[in-house]
Amino acid sequence: MKKVKVTLPDGSSRKYDQGTTIKEVAFDIGPRLGKAAVAGKVDGQAVDINYAISEDVELAIITIDSKEGLEVYRHTAAHVMAQAVKRLYNDVSLAIGPTIDDGFYYDFDLEDKISEHDFDKIESEMKEIIKEDYKIERLEVSKEEAIAKMKELDEEYKIELIKDLDDDTVSFYQQGNFIDLCRGPHLPSTGKLKTNAFKLLNVAGAYWRGDENNDMLQRIYATAFYKKKGLKEHLNRLEEAKKRDHRKIGQKLDLFSLQDEGPGFPFFHPKGMVVRNQLIDFWKEEHRKAGYEEIKTPIILNQQLWEQSGHWDHYSDDMYFTEIDEENYAVKPMNCPGGILVYKDKMRSYRDLPIRMGELGLVHRHELSGTLHGLMRVRNFTQDDAHIFCLPDQIKDELSGVIQLVDTIYSTFGFKYSVELSTRPDKAMGSDQLWAKATAALREAIVDNDLDYVVNEGDGAFYGPKIDFQLEDCLGRTWQCGTIQLDFQMPERFDLTYIGEDGEEHRPVMIHRAIYGSLERFMGILIEHYAGAFPTWLAPVQAEIIPITDDHLDYAYDLKKELEDAGVRVEVDARQEKMGYKIREAQVQQIPYMLIVGDNEVEDKTVSVRHRREGDLGATAVDEFKAKLVDEIEDKN
């Protein structure tokens, strides 16, 4: 029998009979690996565990305890959920059922209204399907056969998806009498799922393909794990996340509100503005140190500019428009064209470069109403953009400088982060050569800064590849905030130049970057990360003075002025309430320090200090407390 060579990720290789499956290779490498294997990657393409190897290949084994392995597991669970819904309800049409962070969902079109009260019966049916242990088989047919099959099953959404495919061959997965359009891979049988390690979470409306002009479908969100412990930990995190919901905390702390008169347009209250302005001041301070100059560009610009930049072709569906002097204008969805015009406003020399322009720019995007979510998904937000125009031989240093600035800012908030390198999307501007050059430069910067990273294929911006920074909050959730995008396209489209050492015109390189990403979203993340208990430097009120009786009010207000003069944000609770009530109220408002003043404090010129977490810290001289508090604020501890 013909032999094939299998090359493994470590560079080693082995010979196998043609037709050997990935599962057999995994067990040959090691019994433990074989038991954990759920799929494989053949020459970079994910395939099923029973895939038969027919030629020399590079092979990576996907195990259940990996991110990719869990996606295979959850994708299988999504099909089981779809099969259960088809069994329980009449006239169900299937839409899509992808995996997402921490779980999966499936969109259904059916007359019956599904609610969370129906989850028990759907879960019970899923358990039956798992117990029946149907073999999961991959079927590959022509595009015409696939359309005919879906017409036979009256699956109109699947027909639309198939017609949009570029491939002539279409793959399905079948388990029992259930069949679904899918590229895979999947587990080998439904019985590989655990009956006690999945959970349906909630149901919501979702427009087909995200277009509000299309049908409204019912989307069931769920999650699955390969161990019961994983599900239990996840459900505990969800409960904790509910307590930390930034919308509830934002209302309780009087930080911001969302009004019916402006859906998706948040209103920031005085205390919320304190937090917001502290974030802005910190951003400005660190950028000044890093050599950035601040600019501000208009919110509304001519349509022709957006056509020239390429945003018109890629973002027009999400933009707002107006007409001025019988010409078409658009509200900016991004800041970069404005920054380009500032660069182009005068002749530049190679001696001027690099030029680092920072902008806290207000942008607007028309998000669908169903996707709006507090500060996390809004229709207007402030991007902390910066655009760097540099010489080709400055790219490496400039990228490293941005990475170091990102680290400085994220570390201040106590965030861990991971890095993704996002490559060329299907709809992109520019040549393969420029994209390869830009991608290689980003990869080199990541490696030079000793950062681990993963490649996110096809998720780059339309004008260039990017580095994305994923923050990890205290619940282990990740948030994509910072980004660095290397752009050779915009300088070409806008004919940007500088005069080189040779006296000739040359093309600069443009780096787009953001660190907060969106000031509004970053603030929402911080609210949930800290559960409203901001570090002292960010807290809207840093100290609350609580006089025991009215006799102590004069001392309280004298103390307030002294602290305010030192730059502390401080209030006096002069209400006619019991001291215990006032202390509890200050703790509910997450005020870091409560300063109790009574007869002893007035006489000794001290304060009795309570901390929101540590409780009673005892009496302290005013000067000593003030110095400690000012140091804590300045150091951003």
Q: What percent of the residues of the chain are helix, what percent strand, and what percent coil, each to the nearest 5?
A: 40, 30, 30
* Assigned token pair, 399: 């990228």
pLDDT of residue 514: 95
**Which residue shows structure tokens 């959850």?**
74
75 catalytically annotated: no
Please report, for residues 112, 207, 266, 311, the alpha-carbon distance to residue 318 in angstroms, rounded to integers and kept in the order given. 32, 16, 18, 10
Answer yes or no: do 374 and 512 share one domain. yes
272, 277, 280, 281 alpha-carbon torsion, rounded to 10°:
-150
Answer yes or no: do 266 and 281 share one domain. yes
CATH number of the domain within which 129 lies: 3.30.980.10
303 catalytically annotated: no
pLDDT of residue 362: 96
Q: Which residues are annotated as a binding site?
A: 336, 387, 512
pLDDT of residue 458: 83
Answer yes or no: do 447 and 496 share one domain. yes
Residue that finishes a domain, picked among 242, 263, 286? 242
512 catalytically annotated: yes
Answer yes or no: do 391 and 460 share one domain. yes
Number of domains in the chain: 4
CA distance 246 to 266: 13
Answer yes or no: do 518 and 504 share one domain. yes
385 catalytically annotated: yes
pLDDT of residue 455: 87
In a domain, 568, yes or no: yes
Among the listed residues 180, 194, 336, 377, the single catalytic one is 336
Instruction: State which residues form the domain around 576.
Output: 543-635
* pLDDT tens digits, one per residue of 239-278: 999 999 999 999 999 999 999 999 999 999 999 999 999 9
In a domain, 331, yes or no: no
In a domain, 81, yes or no: yes
Give bridge partners of residue 378 from the DSSP assignment: none
- What stretches in the chain show pLDDT beneath 50? none
pLDDT of residue 263: 93
Answer yes or no: do 280 and 412 share one domain. yes
Give bridge partners of residue 421 from the DSSP assignment: 455, 467
CATH number of the domain within which 521 lies: 3.30.930.10
182 catalytically annotated: no
Residue that finishes a domain, picked among 33, 63, 93? 63
Residue 173: φ, ψ to 5°: -125, 135
Answer yes or no: do 230 and 278 share one domain. no
Among the listed residues 158, 244, 365, 552, the single catalytic one is 365
pLDDT of residue 475: 86
Contact, 87 vs 125, CB < 8 A? yes
In a domain, 205, yes or no: yes
Answer yes or no: do 103 and 189 share one domain. yes
* Assigned token pair, 156: 């109109």
CA distance 543 to 597: 13
CATH number of the domain within which 16 lies: 3.10.20.30
Among the listed residues 512, 513, 569, 612, the single catalytic one is 512
CA distance 366 to 389: 30
pLDDT of residue 101: 84
Give the number of other Cβ atoms within 10 Å of residue 338's Cβ. Answer: 22
Among the listed residues 278, 383, 470, 589, the single catalytic one is 383
Among the listed residues 194, 466, 582, 626, the single catalytic one is 466
Residue 337: φ, ψ to 5°: -60, -35
Answer yes or no: do 360 and 492 share one domain. yes
In a domain, 333, yes or no: no
pLDDT of residue 463: 76
DSSP-derived secondary structure letter, 125: H
Residue that finishes a domain, picked among 530, 554, 581? 530
Coil/strand/helix, residue 374: coil
Answer yes or no: do 554 and 578 share one domain. yes
In a domain, 248, yes or no: no
* pLDDT tens digits, one per residue of 571-607: 999 999 998 999 999 999 999 999 999 999 999 999 9
CATH number of the domain within which 573 lies: 3.40.50.800
Q: Which residues are annotated as a binding site for Zn(2+)?
A: 336, 387, 512
Among the listed residues 48, 385, 468, 573, the single catalytic one is 385
Answer yes or no: do 358 and 455 share one domain. yes
pLDDT of residue 372: 86
The alpha helices in 345-429, defined as continuous H runs, are: 395-412
Answer yes or no: do 21 and 118 share one domain. no
In a domain, 174, yes or no: yes
In a domain, 34, yes or no: yes
